[in-house]
């Protein structure tokens, strides 16, 4: 990656030193820029105005106020600034309610109803304050020392010394008392301070490395701001790791385009999805248990598994067919093998009678020799080489050597062919498509839309997700997929899972931290391979992973070797089944939380910092999480069954003992193998239904409503989706009186007060 040249300093440094205000156009402010070009690092300790530069250059910078709390900065060394329309950005904005500009001698002040943007003319720098003059965000400016070691690079377009390729750079102040989150599904520590992050989509083949299936060019700070980069080119972010006082950004582009969002983390996530698109609620059945492995091979095998699941009273809604439903394992021709699936329609119907939906695997690298390949080839539907030949990705897992061509989703005709074939399977009876891979789109390939591979590589998963989700929506009504790769905007096409973990204790928390990081990058829904993907799983490891994995939005067991619970020992079967039963009882809470998460753009698997941003103790906690608004999960990730748990502010109730625990303290616990450390936040409204073998197996007649009483005054609300009703519940504590208001419903409610106390709750 050329962006890493900032570390070796093998670049020509172009720096914007000064800006001159030109004019206002609507809610945009246009500046002419003056920069200096340095061919090499100058180490002498000289006054800045004595440094000899080789060249001066001009450009233009535009600051556009999209709302009271969002502004966009674009910069280019040119006479005009291009619009830079991308598929990531779909939101439209009317501008701030009010905007004022003050033109001063040394700076320009732009005020909205919420923030004050100060543009310092020389040295060029942007600082955002609130109306109490508290600094929220600082952008650009000179290095934060006087030795000119090139440890940071303010706004400009640098160039590689070897091939003169451009590298856009920018920096943001990093405070010693600040935490940074986001950048996608990262398997490193949740707080990114001190890390160097490449925004590069990769097949990670691990969940304990810096590689990632789902990089997102977005971060959020505890200081009250977030930044989204409207770029898909390769990018590197040094979060205090190049200069300890800066978040340094480098992008393989010849321009800069980024959005700055102000607010608390919740507000920033909501506004980020205003820019890149809101999520959608997946179908209700998808919140059930998913049975999967690599790979079931036939109708007979999976029908037997379905019957065994029902016989053993293990609730399940989805059975997934992975890589071997074709005539040959991994041969993605989108044709069900005629010998092993002789009557696909009858197969889907038989599964449906037992309450099962079927998920089908595929990938975008198509082996030659099939009708599917030929139809794509006929419309120039594959990524090409520079010589105009079909690009061979080499991603083929068969004995016979074949080309594996990459579908070009920038070609509308290729998308039509893809959706025709996927649509045929969905019409036949499949309910969801596994949108696997997508990380290997050729960086040096030629794409139909004329974009370079270096711009298309990261963007490819968004187009891939979109193509599969749109045909699924057309046929089944909801754009629901099961995807591994993602990019900014992919939250519009849920669900995504965490890739290829290994079946050992070391993989549990890095996978979880990646899911929490993904949630802090604008995604509401996420899953993982319960038990680990590769290797044998079982025993305490599987139990502990199952306990945690059932408290994500979606829960799927998947991997190599056996993954059917009834094939394990009695203790594993009993404990895992008990937790699956608990999940199914919690479906009214889970599905209601999913609806709310889409409305608020908050993740269901939620980092503590989202709810407790002002508590620095939670900033580095990545081994606990909230499930929706009310549950605190502290998974056991070691064989000794011991861990420390931090309880944030408030009062918490132990789900099992009903004991109350005061917040703002650490507690060491030992947890028996059948007990997941599980706690409920005061004010919680937890609706529970009956155990079912699959979702909506029968109509619910009664809901048990668990209430965790407030210890002080407070109000909470929750809307319960049950049968065909949406029932709003409101719980209020005021001056010692507790009131519960439940909307009229055909369903009966049984109130259960948590916390081992006698408490009268007035029901309206």
Active site residues: 436, 439
Distance CA 466, CA 91 (A): 16
Tell me whether residue 760 is exposed, middle or buried, using C-beta atoms within 10 angstroms of its C-beta: 0 to 12, 13 to 18, 19 or more.
Answer: exposed
Q: Round to whole Å and give the CA distance between 123 and 593.
A: 48
Q: SS3 breakdown of the chain: % helix, strand, coil, rounded to 5?
A: 20, 30, 45
Which three-class secondary structure state does DSSP give residue 88?
Answer: coil
Of 764, 750, 646, nearest in space to 707 by CA: 750
Measure the CA–CA gap between 563 and 165, rounded to whole angstroms: 49
What residues form DSSP beta bridges with 12?
Answer: 159
Q: Is 316 in contact with 273 (CB distance < 8 Å)?
A: no
* Token duo for residue 378: 């006929």
> What is the b/e burial string over 612-644, where b = at least 16 CB atoms within 10 angstroms of the residue's CB?
bbebeebbebbbbbbbbbbbbbbbbbeeeeebe
CA separation for the pair 192, 620 (Å, rounded): 9
The rounded Cα 124 to chain-centroid distance in angstroms is 34
Give the dihedral of Cα atoms 161, 163, 166, 169; nearest 10 deg: -30
3-state SS of 158-207 is: EEECCCCCEEEEEEEECCCCCCEEEEECCCCCCCCCCCEEEECECCCCCC
Which residue in the block uniquely carries the two structure tokens 């996608």? 184
Question: What is the SS3 assignment for 360?
Answer: strand
Closest CA to 380 of 422, 419, 409: 409
Structure tokens at 300: 């007979």
Using DSSP, state whether 702 is helix, strand or coil: strand
Give the tokens for residue 73. Answer: 């900065």
> Coil, strand or helix: which one is 567?
helix
Q: How far apart are CA 410 and CA 387, in angstroms?
A: 19
- Please report the beta strands in 270-316, taking only residues with DSSP state E, as ranges in sequence order: 289-291
Other C-beta atoms closer than 10 Å to the C-beta of 764 total 9
SS3 per-residue string spanning 616-657: HHHHHCCCCEEECCCEEECCCCCCCCEEEEEECCCEEEECCC
Phi and psi at residue 244, in whole multiples of 5°?
-65, -15
- Identify the CA nearest to 749 among candidates 712, 724, 720: 720
Q: Which of 365, 547, 494 is nearest to 440 (CA)?
A: 365
Closest CA to 432 of 331, 321, 555: 321
Burial of 600 (0-12, 13-18, 19+ CB in 10 A): middle
Residue 4 Cα distances to 126, 158, 197, 201, 312, angstroms: 25, 12, 10, 16, 55
Contacts of 47 (CB under 8 A, 6+ apart): none
């Amino acid at each position: 990656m050329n962006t890493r040249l900032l570390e070796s300093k093998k670049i020509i440094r172009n720096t914007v030193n000064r800006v001159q205000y030109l004019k206002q156009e609507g809610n945009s402010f246009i500046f002419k820029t003056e920069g200096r070009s340095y061919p090499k690092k100058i180490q002498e300790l000289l006054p800045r105005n004595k440094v000899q530069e080789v060249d001066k250059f001009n450009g233009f910078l535009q600051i556009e106020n999209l709302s009271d709390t969002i502004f966009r900065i674009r910069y280019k060394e040119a006479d005009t600034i291009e619009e830079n329309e991308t598929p990531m950005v779909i939101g439209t904005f009317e501008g701030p309610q009010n905007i004022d500009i003050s033109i001063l001698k040394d700076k320009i002040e732009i005020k909205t109803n919420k923030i004050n943007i100060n543009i310092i003319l020389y040295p060029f720098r942007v600082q955002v304050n609130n109306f109490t003059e508290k600094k929220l965000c600082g952008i650009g400016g000179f290095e934060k020392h006087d030795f000119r070691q090139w440890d940071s690079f303010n706004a400009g377009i640098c160039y590689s010394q070897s091939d003169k390729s451009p590298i856009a750079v920018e920096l943001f102040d990093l405070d010693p008392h600040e935490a940074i989150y986001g950048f996608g599904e990262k398997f490193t520590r949740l707080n990114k301070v001190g890390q160097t992050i490449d925004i590069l989509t990769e097949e990670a083949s691990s969940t304990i490395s810096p590689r990632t299936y789902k990089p997102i060019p977005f971060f959020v700070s505890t200081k009250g701001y977030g930044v989204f980069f409207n770029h898909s080119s390769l990018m590197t972010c040094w979060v205090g790791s190049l200069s300890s006082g800066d978040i340094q950004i480098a992008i393989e582009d010849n321009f800069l385009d980024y959005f700055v969002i102000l607010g608390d983390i919740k507000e920033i996530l909501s506004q980020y999805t205003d820019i890149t698109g809101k999520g959608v609620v997946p179908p209700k059945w998808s919140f059930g248990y998913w049975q999967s492995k690599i790979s079931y091979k036939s109708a007979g095998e999976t029908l037997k598994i379905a019957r065994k699941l029902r016989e053993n009273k293990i609730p399940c809604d989805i059975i997934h067919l992975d890589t071997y439903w074709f005539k040959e394992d991994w041969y993605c021709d989108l044709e069900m093998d005629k010998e092993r699936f002789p009557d696909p329609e009858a197969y889907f119907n038989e599964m449906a009678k037992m309450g099962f939906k079927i998920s089908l695997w595929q990938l975008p690298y198509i082996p030659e020799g099939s009708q599917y390949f030929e139809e794509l080839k006929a419309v120039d539907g594959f990524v090409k080489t520079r010589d105009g030949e079909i690009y061979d990705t080499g991603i083929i897992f068969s004995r016979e050597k074949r080309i594996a061509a990459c579908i070009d989703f920038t070609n509308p005709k290729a998308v039509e062919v893809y959706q025709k074939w996927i649509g045929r399977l969905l019409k036949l009876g499949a309910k969801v498509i596994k949108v696997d891979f997508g990380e290997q789109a050729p960086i040096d390939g030629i794409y139909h839309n004329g974009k370079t591979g270096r711009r298309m590589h990261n963007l490819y998963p968004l187009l891939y997700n979109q193509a599969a989700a749109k045909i699924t929506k057309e046929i089944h009504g909801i754009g629901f997929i099961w995807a591994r790769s993602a990019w900014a905007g992919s939250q519009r096409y849920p669900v995504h899972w965490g890739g290829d973990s290994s079946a050992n204790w070391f993989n549990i928390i890095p996978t979880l931290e990646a899911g929490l990081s993904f949630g802090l990058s604008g995604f509401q829904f996420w899953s993982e391979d319960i038990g680990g993907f590769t290797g044998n799983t079982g025993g305490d490891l599987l139990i502990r992973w199952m306990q945690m994995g059932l408290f994500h939005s979606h829960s799927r067991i998947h991997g190599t070797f056996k993954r059917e619970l009834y094939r394990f020992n009695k203790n594993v079967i009993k404990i895992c089944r008990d937790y699956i039963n608990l999940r199914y009882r919690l479906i009214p809470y889970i599905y209601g939380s999913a609806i709310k998460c889409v409305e608020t753009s908050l993740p269901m698997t939620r980092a503590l910092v989202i709810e407790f941003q002002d508590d620095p103790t939670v900033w580095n906690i990545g081994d606990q999480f909230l499930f929706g608004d009310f549950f605190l999960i502290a998974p056991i990730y070691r064989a000794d069954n011991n861990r420390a748990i931090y309880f944030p502010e408030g009062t918490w109730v132990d789900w099992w003992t009903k004991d109350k625990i005061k917040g703002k303290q650490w507690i060491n616990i030992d947890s028996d193998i059948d007990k997941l450390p599980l706690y409920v936040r005061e004010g919680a409204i937890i609706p529970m239904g009956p155990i079912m073998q699959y979702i909506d197996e029968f109509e619910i007649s009664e809901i048990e409503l668990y209430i965790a009483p407030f210890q002080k005054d407070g109000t909470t609300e929750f809307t319960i989706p049950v049968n065909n009703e949406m029932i709003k519940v409101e719980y209020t504590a005021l001056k010692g009186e507790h009131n519960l208001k439940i909307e009229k419903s055909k369903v009966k409610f049984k109130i259960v007060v948590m916390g081992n106390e006698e408490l009268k709750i007035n029901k309206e």
